[in-house]
Structure 1
Amino acid sequence: MKTIVVYKSKTGFVRNYAEWIAEELSADIFEVSKVNINMLTTYDTVVYGGSLHAVGIIGVKFITKNIDKLKTKRLVVFASGASPSSEKVIKEVRNKNFTLDQQKHIEFFYLRGGFNYNKLPPFDKMLMTLLGWKIKIKKKQKKELIPDEIGMLDFLENPVDFTKKENIDEIVSYINS
């Protein structure tokens, strides 16, 4: 079975997962800007990985806008974010990024990645700085912070990397089944 792994990564966490998946599956691998839909139609399995930004999977529109040409393929999408995996997170990401019809054709996985403020592009740094200020103001006002807000304050100052090669095992098993 011929497999391709396509990814979009801002800070390297998704790229790491994409490289590990491609290695395990002996698949071709490309950054999304280097592929076109005609390339993908020559593969049996298409894996797309993107980092999360406000629950949106970066670059996944490349897959969703071409879903009609990919319906006959084994189609896997994974997203990577700093939040721990939970059924709530997975459902929210799936429903935000894919219509119910698209969900019938896409097997979705969430892989915990990491966060490194220093590797973000300037615009994203600005957005994260504003978010940090908002959370700090909330904290100064003695309002209760949710766990994600507490984690975000820490992540802004201390980069974290939760990637582990074994996190891809479920994806690899699914594709090999």
Structure 2
Amino acid sequence: MKTVIVYKSKTGFAKKYAEWISEELSADIFEASDVNINMLTVYDTVIYGGGLYAIGINGVKLITQNIEKLKDKKVVVFATGASTSRGEVIQEVKNKNFTTEQQKYMMFFYLRGGFNYSKLKPFDKVLMTLLKWKIKNKKKKGKELTPDEKGMIAAYDNPVDFTRKKNINKLIDYVYS
């Protein structure tokens, strides 16, 4: 079984998981900017990973726009984010990123990553600062913050890393099944 891992990572969390998965599966690994769909068609298993940004998976169009060429492969997509894994959130991410038809041809996994404001590019910093202001405004108005919002505010000044190698176990088991 020939396997490839492709990832797109802004702050390093998706890259870290991609490297661990590559080690476990003895798979080839590439950054998304270094591949094209024709390179991927020679593999039996294609794994794509990217960070979540406003519930969109960074760079996943490589897979979604080429699903027809990958239908006969085992396709796995993973996303990383700072939030805990909750069923309704995972379903929302799947539905935003993949049509019902696309979901038939792939398996999706959420791997908890982290948040490091200092590693963001200027545009992403602006977006995250706007989000921070929005959350702080909510708090000023006396509204209850969600656990994710509380965690996000705390992580601005203190980066958090929730990556754990054991988080890839279900994905690895699926690939071997």
Place the TM-score, normalised by the shorter chain, in its bin: over 0.9
- 1:13 corresponds in structure 2 to 13
1:168 & 1:17 partners in 2: Cα distance? 7
The CA deviation at 1:147 is: 1.7
- 2:26 corresponds in structure 1 to 26
- 2:54 corresponds in structure 1 to 54
Unpaired runs of 5+ in structure 2? none
- 2:99 corresponds in structure 1 to 99
2:36 & 2:140 partners in 1: Cα distance? 49
2:147 & 2:139 partners in 1: Cα distance? 12
**Same amino acid, percent of matched pairs:** 69
1:144 & 1:107 partners in 2: Cα distance? 35
- 2:157 corresponds in structure 1 to 157
Give the secondary-structure state (helix, strand or coil) at the position aligned to 2:109. strand
1:88 & 1:141 partners in 2: Cα distance? 27
Give the secondary-structure state (helix, strand or coil) at the position aligned to 2:134. helix
1:82 & 1:36 partners in 2: Cα distance? 29
Deviation sequence 1:75-108 (CA, Å, 0-9, x none): 0000000000111121011111000000000100
2:113 & 2:142 partners in 1: Cα distance? 30
Give the secondary-structure state (helix, strand or coil) at the position aligned to 1:46. strand
- 2:86 corresponds in structure 1 to 86
The CA deviation at 1:141 is: 2.0
Superposed CA RMSD in Å reads: 0.7
Give the secondary-structure state (helix, strand or coil) at the position aligned to 1:43. coil
Give the secondary-structure state (helix, strand or coil) at the position aligned to 2:84. coil
2:12 & 2:135 partners in 1: Cα distance? 26
2:160 & 2:64 partners in 1: Cα distance? 30
1:94 & 1:28 partners in 2: Cα distance? 25
- 1:140 corresponds in structure 2 to 140
Give the secondary-structure state (helix, strand or coil) at the position aligned to 1:111. strand
Give the secondary-structure state (helix, strand or coil) at the position aligned to 2:4. strand
1:144 & 1:41 partners in 2: Cα distance? 49
Unpaired runs of 5+ in structure 1? none
1:141 & 1:176 partners in 2: Cα distance? 51
> What TM-score do you get using the length of structure 2 for normalisation?
0.98
The CA deviation at 1:158 is: 1.1
Work out the number of aligned pairs and report it: 177
> What TM-score do you get using the length of structure 1 for normalisation?
0.98
Deviation sequence 1:81-138 (CA, Å, 0-9, x none): 0000111121011111000000000100000000000001110011111111111122
- 2:66 corresponds in structure 1 to 66
1:71 & 1:97 partners in 2: Cα distance? 17
Give the secondary-structure state (helix, strand or coil) at the position aligned to 1:152. helix
2:75 & 2:43 partners in 1: Cα distance? 10
Give the secondary-structure state (helix, strand or coil) at the position aligned to 1:131. helix
Give the secondary-structure state (helix, strand or coil) at the position aligned to 2:38. helix
Structure 1 runs (4+) deviating above 3 angstroms are none
1:121 & 1:169 partners in 2: Cα distance? 31
